[in-house]
Structure 1
Amino acid sequence: MTTYTARPIAPTVLKELRTTDDAGRPMAPLTDDEGGAPLRCCLRRSEPGERIALVSYAPLRRWAAETGAEPGAYDEQGPVFIHADDCPGPAPSNTYPFANAHRSVRRYSADGHILGGALVPTPNDEAFRNAFDDPTVALVHVRAVEYGCFLYEVRRG
């Protein structure tokens, strides 16, 4: 049985985003007074007092650059929260983070085109198994339903 892994934003990409985000803007760090922001660097919610930043991120564009895919109009960028400074990444036990609400599991083909999606009550192995049962699915994005924001990606194998 295959187990799927939530992938945070890679450390090399985080380093770039902490300088200039995918919209070409410099990072503007802030102190999170309330906590609760979904951090894409370590796949957990922020705690009060942490230094974080809201940056523009283009996950499909960056994946396409790795794979040679041509997502065309499916290339999009959107806001994500990250730590303003280096962090250790996700805890090993954090299998499917941000699972406290319905999520969209969006499937992409090897050329970066959307193949469809599913609304799931919580991300789990079954949701990803269903997504990857289609052999043309190369990548899955988990997104927040309320805003459509990218939370993390899951890849085959």
Structure 2
Amino acid sequence: MTTTTTTGFRIHVISSEVLEKVRAGAGDASGRPAERLPAEGGEPLRCCLRDARPGEELVLFGYEPEIPPSPYREIGAVLAHARACAGPATAESYPGDWYGRPQVLRAYDDRGWIHDATRVHDGRNPEAVIAEMLAEPGVARIHSRNVSYGCYMFEITRPD
């Protein structure tokens, strides 16, 4: 699912095709089955870009974000609902549960190489920071990642 924002960028969640395969037991990016677990509450969900509520059924699996083949491709753990959900709550803004959440905003160029515009962001005024990064020559996409663990959250691109 893709969400268009009013601030000149797009937020991309993990594709429904990838999520359907993982949920059906087809294996993750490493070919391993997803782990099923109940949410404790507060886990960042990559399917709908909100924090999990206690008791929700989740899947934990290895995900490889879609960037061109490069030395910077990597597989990391992500969480999603164990069953299909409606996706992000809004199609017009930065994910509400991510405001105030420090993130690494990792910029990539068209080759899939990390760009110098990459920065750690404190979670305040993300729209302005993202606009600055996308204005940098050569930035093709940005991945929002967890500061502590480096886990992928979502992708940000220009609206074109």
Q: So what's the TM-score if we normalise by structure 1?
A: 0.86
**1:13 — aligned with what?**
18
Q: 1:83 aligns with which of 81, 84, 98?
A: 81
Cα deviation, 1:79-106, whole Å, max 9, x if unaligned, reads 0001111111011167223223221111
1:44-93 CA-partner distances (Å, limit 9, x unpaired) = 0111111001100011xxx23xxxx332x201010000111111101116
Q: Does the 8 Å CA contact 2:69/2:111 hold for their aligned counterparts?
A: yes
Is the contact between residue 109 and residue 138 of structure 2 (CA under 8 Å) also seen in structure 1?
yes
**Structure 1 portions without partners, runs of 5+:** none
Tell me the CA shift for residue 152 of structure 1: 0.9
Amino acid at match of 2:22: L
What residue number does 1:22 align with?
29
CA contact (8 A) 1:35 1:45 kept: yes
In 2: Cα distance, 1:93 partner to 1:44 partner: 13
| Preserved contact between residue 58 and residue 77 of structure 1 (Cα < 8 Å) | yes
- Matched with 1:129 is 131
The separation in 1 between residues aligned to 2:22 and 2:138, in whole angstroms, is 30
Aligned length: 148
TM-score (norm 2): 0.85
Structure 1 runs of 4+ off > 6 angstroms? Answer: none
Report the counterpart of residue 69 of structure 2 in structure 1: 70
Counting helix residues as a fraction of each chain, which structure ranks higher? 1
In the TM superposition, what is the alpha-carbon distance from 1:28 to its structure 2 partner?
2.4
